[in-house]
Structure 1
């Protein structure tokens, strides 16, 4: 017989509130002022805690940025999951995922510029998210191939192509220069995905 889980005690609840307040403060300041322009002192003050306490929860400002983006990613994934059902066709799942990536990029544009800068100095900074996104998209495409809804394309290459296309389009770089914020971009990429994948 297993014991019923116990509710967290007062100390654990207080720690959770402090951690949440620090993350909320960091998110607000990073989005408003930018990562580079925000100091640990400002985050601590906004969270109504001390710098030493902040460092008890997060090892660095970069660690805070990772956690802020992870929370935003988790919210984006939750919105995606709420938008699809078990019987949602594979192509609709892919198109919904493309829109979710675009929304995430738009919501976090300023922070992601900082991530790109940090990644240039520290190759492993954004590897976790990039690997997760690639794996998830490849799995979506492989599921569509297995169900017979998609042509037998190289799933990993197709996932990379679609992810890179959404990213460069949303950032308005390369062939997508000048199209950042264009409401037709994501429908065009979704149309591309349909042409590439659907039988």
Structure 2
């Protein structure tokens, strides 16, 4: 049975949610650099000091939102891993899921790329570890080729998403990603 959340904790969660929502709205409307902490606090109807009770800087808000999105993505991928799909189906679904999430949150990722000094991916090696486990499973099952280094496969896989997001092609995003997925899988699958 879940412990009942105190009124104070509910209020803290509500302030955090409002603060994050208002901040992201201002970043999208005005731009990151042009938005001040005082404006964020005013729009969230809190004092500037209250902002600092939750975050140390505007960059911290971006990190928080990015981490929250990546955690949700990781949960979806872990559920996919546990599914009864074959390794090729899992790899395909992972790419399509990640691609969809990147597309839906492209403004957030663009803000993070421009304004955060990320030393490597913000999710650490977790996504790569998930992908490596699926590739290894596919190799054990005889679905995937063994003659291509796993590092090359994971690098190419992550490049597919970036390529689809930054494509100047007139082909719509999902269709673009599906073409690239087919080419990737044709090269990975055993004949």
Common fold: TM-score over 0.5: yes
Task: From the superposition, tell whether residues 86 and 79 of structure 1 become closer, same or farther in structure 2 (CA, over 3 Å).
Answer: closer
Measure, in 2, the Cα distance between the counterparts of 1:58 and 1:18. 12
Task: From the superposition, tell whether residues 166 and 59 of structure 1 become closer, same or farther in structure 2 (CA, over 3 Å).
Answer: same
Measure, in 2, the Cα distance between the counterparts of 1:71 and 1:38. 22
Residue pairs, 1:45-124, within 5 angstroms: 45-80=42-77, 86-119=83-116, 122-124=117-119
Matched, 1:11 2:5: no
Which of 173, 177, 192 does residue 183 from structure 2 map onto? 192
Task: From the superposition, tell whether residues 6 and 123 of structure 1 become closer, same or farther in structure 2 (CA, over 3 Å).
Answer: closer
Measure how far apart 1:41 and its partner are: 2.5
Task: From the superposition, tell whether residues 181 and 43 of structure 1 become closer, same or farther in structure 2 (CA, over 3 Å).
Answer: farther
Contact 1:151 1:198 in 2 (8 A): yes
Q: What RMSD in Å do the two structures reach over aligned CA positions? A: 2.7
Measure how far apart 1:53 and its partner are: 0.8
Mind listing any 5+ residue stretches in structure 2 that lack a counterpart? none
Q: Larger deviation: 56-65 or 19-28?
A: 19-28
- Deviation per CA, 1:91-119: give whole Å up to 9, x if none: 11111111122222222222322322235
- Deviation per CA, 1:152-194: give whole Å up to 9, x if none: 232232011110122132122xxxx345744421111210232
| Residue correspondences, number | 189
Task: From the superposition, tell whether residues 97 and 25 of structure 1 become closer, same or farther in structure 2 (CA, over 3 Å).
Answer: same
Matched, 1:142 2:136: yes
Contact 2:145 2:189 in 1 (8 A): yes
Measure how far apart 1:62 and its partner are: 0.7
Measure, in 2, the Cα distance between the counterparts of 1:132 and 1:71. 14
Measure, in 2, the Cα distance between the counterparts of 1:142 and 1:83. 16
Secondary structure of the structure 1 residue equivalent to 2:123: helix
Task: From the superposition, tell whether residues 41 and 92 of structure 1 become closer, same or farther in structure 2 (CA, over 3 Å).
Answer: farther
Measure, in 1, the Cα distance between the counterparts of 2:115 and 2:103. 19
Mind listing any 5+ residue stretches in structure 1 that lack a counterpart? none
Contact 1:102 1:186 in 2 (8 A): yes
Matched, 1:155 2:150: yes
* Counterpart in the other structure of 1:28: 25
